[in-house]
Amino acid sequence: MLRFMGGIMLPVAAGSSSGRFGIMPLMQFGLPSARLASVLVALTLAACGSAPSNGSSSASSPSVSASAQPQATTLPAVPAPVAVSVDSAATAVLVMDLLLPRCTPTGRAACPPTIPAVNALIKKAHDARTLVVYTRVNNGTFVSDLLTPQASDITLDTLGPDKFIGTNLADQLKQKKISTLVASGTASNGAVLTTGAEAAFQGYTVVVPEDTISGDTPFNTFLTEYQLLQFPANPDNKPLADKAVTLSRSDLISFK
């Protein structure tokens, strides 16, 4: 079972409460940022079976001095982005929460550099007459250098990171017979992670172009990409895996 904690999707015991998803910020436990990052790394490695061993038994384990250095840990690799060709009539591009003041150099600094790739993706979608869905939280203001929505696009006001919750997104996608979603925007470990995973669980084929997403730290985006390939499983990043997520890049996506 999985639980979203602090914007991160983590495994929890099968008997835990909260259903499939739950929101429980890790910071509520009073963990400082450095300690929080260590906890997230440890939990991620435990989820993928890469956690370091503590030894065979306490009796045979050597004593550890207070000055001993912590063991280095190798993070799991994320597969390279792959080329995909999507059906223009059955695809929707999600452009999520590229808003002021979040997507600015003084807000989320990694966000503004993604705008050119997002705009290139939007332009390709418009040229192919593919549906584009812009989302904004609390009726926010889009950044000025983002391509503005066209009359054929949808602008969706939302309350949180999962764009299926509290909106008619699912109904609109069903009406337009959409089966594939291309998810872009920010935050990587917020809207992209929750909406992308939920879409796959609902039966959509999901594509996430990695150059169009951003988080507060590179680790947040790395962990998002890794986890999106695990739940539902597509660990080898097979292109357009059914009811799963594929990692791609804006210049590797074509519309047919």
Give residue limits of the domains in the chain: 2-47, 84-255
* HEC profile of the chain: CEEEECCEEEECCCCCCCCCCCECCHHHHCCCHHHHHHHHHHHHHHHCCCCCCCCCCCCCCCCCCCCCCCCCCCCCCCCCCCCEEECHHHEEEEEECCEECCCCCCCCCCCHHHHHHHHHHHHHHHHCCCEEEEEEECCCEECCCCCCCCCCCEEEEECCCCCCCCCCHHHHHHHCCCCEEEEEEECHHHHHHHHHHHHHHCCCEEEEEHHHEECCCHHHHHHHHHHHCCCCCCCCCCCCCCCCEEEECHHHEEEC
pLDDT at 67: 57
Reported as a single tens digit per residue, the pLDDT across 203-243 is: 999 999 999 999 999 999 999 999 999 988 999 999 999 99
Count the Cβ atoms, other than its own, within 10 Å of residue 21: 16
Question: Who's near 72: CB < 8 A, 6+ residues apart?
Answer: none
pLDDT at 74: 87
Residue 6 banded pLDDT, cuts 50, 70, 90: very low
- What average pLDDT does range 106-134 have in this prediction? 98
- What average pLDDT does range 44-62 have in this prediction? 48
Q: Where do we find the tokens 């950044």? A: 143
Q: How many residues are given for the chain?
A: 256
Reported as a single tens digit per residue, the pLDDT across 9-25 is: 444 444 443 334 433 34
pLDDT at 62: 52
Residue 81 banded pLDDT, cuts 50, 70, 90: very high
On whether the CB atoms of residues 174 and 167 are closer than 8 A, the answer is no
Q: Which CATH number fits domain 84-255: 3.30.1360.200, 3.40.50.1970, 3.40.50.850, 3.90.320.10?
A: 3.40.50.850
On whether the CB atoms of residues 81 and 169 are closer than 8 A, the answer is no
Residue 256 banded pLDDT, cuts 50, 70, 90: very high
Q: How far apart are CA 164 and CA 94, in angstroms?
A: 12
Reported as a single tens digit per residue, the pLDDT across 154-211 is: 999 999 999 999 999 999 999 999 999 999 999 999 999 999 999 999 999 999 999 9
pLDDT higher for 210 or 55?
A: 210
| Whole-structure pTM value | 0.74
